[in-house]
A and B are shown apart, each in its own frame.
Chain A
Amino acid sequence: MAKTKEMTNNNLLEVKDLKISFKTDEGIITAVDGIKFSVKRGQTLGIVGESGSGKSVSTWSIMRLLPKNSIIDKKSSIKFQQKSGKVVEITKFKSNSRELREIRGGEVALIFQEPMSSFSPVYTIGNQIMEAVLQHRDVTKEEAQEIAIDMLDRVGISNPAQRFKQYPFELSGGMRQRAMIAVALSMNPSLLIADEPTTSLDVTIQAQILELMNELQEELGMSIIFITHNLGVIAQVADEIEVMYLGKILERGTTNDIIHEPQHPYTQALLKAIPRLDTIGERLTAISGDIPSPLSRPIGCPFYTRCEKVMPGICDVKMPEPTQLSDTHTVYCFLYEEKNV
């Protein structure tokens, strides 16, 4: 059993030295390489980065949902404060233990990019919400059904009683994502992990879902980890943002810090790549070069193979240390470390 210990700074979640690798046929792949982050109560942490940077792996590990070939390094720590007030160390839980099942859904819920495949096609929406409610709340079937229909209503699904009886493939993409949110929130979690929840939706629906998530957070007070590869999306929901690349965090700060005063060359490049209404027709400046394979991670700053400001002999030797630019703003880059030396 984990000890009861106070969390600092009104934190709900504190992750330290998180390192995750995968055993594969080609060898060991390090997907997340010693990262640190925390989530405050009632706030939204945005995680942004190109695909393959380790956003899903690092957050799914909070629910211990990674496949069997994954290894969470022994020094890693994931501390979470449960509703009861008890602080638990999630890395210490046995897989499939009861404690873990209570965390899954009951404390931390997850919604995915693919609302279609995250529902089973052979059970009704209602069946799958009821399952979630009955798993985590001490209610009768009738009460669970009421909670489920009420939740469908709350996420803006019309005719909730009828939708309850329908199958996932009878709903539109946007409706399915709303239903997925309803499933997650019906379990009353204190942390919602939204893993690219709007990536597969078109822009109008995307905006509606973002608005819905903001509303629900205000209403229910849960914390959110919002994952996306689009900085434009994250600006609308996040209080804090961390920028990930090849399993490392490169920059962290408030949404204002990151969007208006980005310091890391990678963050700056990501911002230039956001499609904007006022520049439609102009070419986007996509970041040049390919992401290196996780099998051959660069030594030193992971971004040096694509960085315009790379300093040979410095950047390709070791990983830069964090530089604290302000109370809230941290960057991992030799451009800033140099100034402090």
Chain B
Amino acid sequence: MVKFLVQRIIGMAVTMFFVSIMVFIIMELPPGDYAERWAFRKFSGTGAQITEADLDNIRANFGLDRPAPERYFKWISGIVLHGDFGEAFAFQTSVNNVIGQKIWLTLAILFSTLIVTYLVAIPVGIYAAIRRGSAEDYALTVFSYLGFALPNFLLALVLLYISITVFDSSVGGLFSPEYADAPWSTAKALDLLSHLIIPSIILAWSATAFQLQTVRATMLDELNNLSVTAARARGVPEWKLLLKYPARLAINPVVSTMSFDANRIFSELPIVALVLGLPELGELLLKSYLDLDMFVAGAILLILTFMIVFMNFLSDIFLAILDPRVKLIEG
């Protein structure tokens, strides 16, 4: 197991190295650079003439004149050694300051969504497979296809409307106004949780629909497995054998696709966040990219991909715990 862990951690580090290079290249891709954008914003309308020399000066100020490998090295070593993501030019402060809280909130949404997804998809998928062909099974199928079919922003608007009119609560944002600037406390954490529910439900719906069908299909396969009949032939009570044999294996495909879910959630989050007024990273990513504020964009891209790679790592570990064949095959 130790060897397995070490292998996976090295694998994760190598992946992140290549990802960081790709992110850096993406940061370099847009035409023009931040110096031009800065000069444009500062001097447009003032009638001032900007020469190439002025631009070079600005570039030198921001450190943009150094060769790419050097800039990459400086950037990445700042992150790895000091946790410092560089300067957010447009905000005139550090990237860490700009994205700090938003990261935690994005992660909170990610994990609450994943938890809702798995808490619903796994037991309900198992149930649907056991009651295959029943009215409940059909109802669940319809319900999950709705999850595929309804656009998230529509869901967000509907839930927003319902919660304001029916429950008279503000779902917009992550905090109620009275807690927004308050220091952290139990009450504030609870307030955050209550605001996480709506975005988590919206984001979890399609992920749940997908995983529910996966669990159901795997469970159906496993139910026909001879080892289930063998356990039944040993006199094991039905509920016990269903949980011990097919259900246990029906979880595997869910565990092994956790990083896909994270990916899906990250790509759907910005639209939902826009409708619900949530301060998360996706929107900031778009904005900073438009502004050519490349260290902000780079930091966000890096963090989001790291989360996905990390989820992948987690699912490898869980799988190895769940299925002894995995460890043996891979040493």
Mark contacts of B307-331 with chain A using CB atoms, 8 A cut-off: 1 yes-contact digit, 0 otherwise: 0000000000000001111001000
Q: Does B238 touch A at the CB level, under 8 Å?
A: yes
B119 — which chain A residues lie within 8 A by C-beta? none
- Kindly state the separation between the CA atoms of A131 and B225 in the bound complex, as whole angstroms: 18
The total of chain A residues at the interface (CB under 8 A) is 30
- Kindly state the separation between the CA atoms of A142 and B315 in the bound complex, as whole angstroms: 34
B237 — which chain A residues lie within 8 A by C-beta? 96, 101
By the criterion CB–CB under 8 Å, are A131 and B234 in contact?
yes
- Kindly state the separation between the CA atoms of A110 and B235 in the bound complex, as whole angstroms: 11
Contact status of A63 and B233, CB under 8 A, knowing A118-B226, A120-B245, A169-B325: yes
Q: Does B101 touch A at the CB level, under 8 Å?
A: no
- Kindly state the separation between the CA atoms of A170 and B234 in the bound complex, as whole angstroms: 22
Contact status of A117 and B227, CB under 8 A, knowing A122-B248, A169-B325: yes
- Kindly state the separation between the CA atoms of A63 and B229 in the bound complex, as whole angstroms: 11
By the criterion CB–CB under 8 Å, are B227 and A104 in contact?
no
Contact of A118 among B230, B238, B324, B325 (CB under 8 A): B230
Q: Does A112 touch B at the CB level, under 8 Å?
A: yes
By the criterion CB–CB under 8 Å, are A105 and B233 in contact?
yes
Nearest Cβ distance between residue A30 and chain B, in whole angstroms? 22
Contact status of A112 and B235, CB under 8 A, knowing A117-B225, A167-B324, A169-B325: no
Nearest Cβ distance between residue B12 and chain A, in whole angstroms? 25
Q: Does A336 touch B at the CB level, under 8 Å?
A: no
By the criterion CB–CB under 8 Å, are A121 and B325 in contact?
yes
By the criterion CB–CB under 8 Å, are B236 and A135 in contact?
yes
- Kindly state the separation between the CA atoms of A122 and B328 in the bound complex, as whole angstroms: 12
By the criterion CB–CB under 8 Å, are B234 and A104 in contact?
yes
Q: Does B231 touch A at the CB level, under 8 Å?
A: yes
A132 — which chain B residues lie within 8 A by C-beta? 234-235
Most A CB contacts (10 A, CB to CB) among B227, B244, B245, B322 go to B227
- Kindly state the separation between the CA atoms of A39 and B2 in the bound complex, as whole angstroms: 55
In chain B, what residue has the closest Cβ to A63?
B233
Q: Does B58 touch A at the CB level, under 8 Å?
A: no
Contact of A105 among B226, B234, B323, B325 (CB under 8 A): B234
Q: Does B98 touch A at the CB level, under 8 Å?
A: no
- Kindly state the separation between the CA atoms of A122 and B236 in the bound complex, as whole angstroms: 17
Query: In which size bucket is the chain B interface?
Result: 20 to 34
Q: Does A157 touch B at the CB level, under 8 Å?
A: no
Contact of A119 among B227, B238, B324 (CB under 8 A): B227
In chain B, what residue has the closest Cβ to A169?
B325
Q: Does A114 touch B at the CB level, under 8 Å?
A: yes
Q: Does B193 touch A at the CB level, under 8 Å?
A: no
- Kindly state the separation between the CA atoms of A312 and B201 in the bound complex, as whole angstroms: 72
Q: Does A136 touch B at the CB level, under 8 Å?
A: yes
Contact status of A96 and B238, CB under 8 A, knowing A120-B245, A122-B249: yes
Most A CB contacts (10 A, CB to CB) among B233, B245, B325 go to B233
By the criterion CB–CB under 8 Å, are A112 and B230 in contact?
yes
B322 — which chain A residues lie within 8 A by C-beta? 122
In chain B, what residue has the closest Cβ to A180?
B230
Q: Does A106 touch B at the CB level, under 8 Å?
A: yes
Q: B282-297: which have CB < 8 Å to A? A: none
Contact of B230 among A119, A122, A136 (CB under 8 A): A119
Q: Does B71 touch A at the CB level, under 8 Å?
A: no
A110 — which chain B residues lie within 8 A by C-beta? 230, 233
Q: Does A234 touch B at the CB level, under 8 Å?
A: no
In chain A, what residue has the closest Cβ to B246?
A120
- Kindly state the separation between the CA atoms of A105 and B237 in the bound complex, as whole angstroms: 12
A119 — which chain B residues lie within 8 A by C-beta? 227, 230
Nearest Cβ distance between residue A184 and chain B, in whole angstroms? 8
Nearest Cβ distance between residue A170 and chain B, in whole angstroms? 8
B37 — which chain A residues lie within 8 A by C-beta? none
A104 — which chain B residues lie within 8 A by C-beta? 232-235
- Kindly state the separation between the CA atoms of A118 and B237 in the bound complex, as whole angstroms: 17
Chain B positions within 8 Å of A, measured between CB atoms, are: 225-227, 229-238, 244-245, 248-249, 322-325, 328
Chain A positions within 8 Å of B, measured between CB atoms, are: 63, 65, 96, 101-106, 109-110, 112, 114, 117-123, 128, 131-132, 135-136, 167, 169-170, 183, 187
The 6 closest A-B pairs by CB, nearest first: A105-B235, A104-B235, A120-B227, A101-B235, A117-B226, A105-B234
Could you write out 24 A-B pairs with CB less than 8 Å apart? A63-B233, A65-B229, A102-B235, A104-B234, A104-B235, A109-B234, A110-B233, A112-B230, A117-B226, A118-B226, A118-B230, A120-B227, A120-B231, A120-B245, A121-B324, A122-B325, A123-B244, A131-B236, A132-B235, A136-B234, A167-B324, A169-B325, A183-B234, A187-B235
